[in-house]
Structure 1
Amino acid sequence: MRKRYNPYTYPRWLKNIRGVCAQFAIPISVFQGIRTILFPTGFDVLLLALVILGAVALHLQII
């Protein structure tokens, strides 16, 4: 059986790391978006999609 996800049971240091990552997710997404517009390669598009998905997941507290 799968264990239920509860962010309140995580250690304090892990909550701090998650908070810092959430603060940097949007600026990194903007930077990567500008870079993808200027130099569009397949890798940049894939990286932008991953960064945006990660930012949304952190914002919605999925991960």
Structure 2
Amino acid sequence: MKKRFNPYTLPPWLRQVREVGIQIIIPLTIFQGIRTVFFPTSFDVLLLGLLIVLAIALRYNWV
């Protein structure tokens, strides 16, 4: 049976870091998306993909 993730079992400082990360990741992803549209390099596309996956993972509590 799969163990469910419970964010309340984390230490308080790690919960605060996670909450700050959730607030920062969306504007950072939007900025990177705009930057990728104007200056598309392979690194920018990979970074944008990584940020999108991380934003979705944080939003749905997968991490």
TM-score (norm 1): 0.90
In structure 1, give the amino acid aligned to 2:54: G
Please name the residue that 1:27 is paired with.
27
List runs of 5+ in structure 2 lacking aligned partners. Answer: none
Runs of 4+ aligned structure 1 residues displaced above 6 Å come to none
List runs of 5+ in structure 1 lacking aligned partners. Answer: none
Q: Identity of paired residues, percent?
A: 55
Shift of 1:3: 6.4
In structure 2, give the amino acid aligned to 1:37: V
**Superposition map of 1:1-40 within 5 A:** 5-40=5-40
The alignment status of 1:60 with 2:48, answered yes or no, reads no
Shift of 1:6: 2.6
Aligned residues: CA RMSD? 1.3
Q: How many residues align?
A: 62
Please name the residue that 1:42 is paired with.
42
TM-score (norm 2): 0.90
List per-residue Cα deviations over 1:4-36 (Å, max 9, x = no partner).
533221011100000000000100000000000
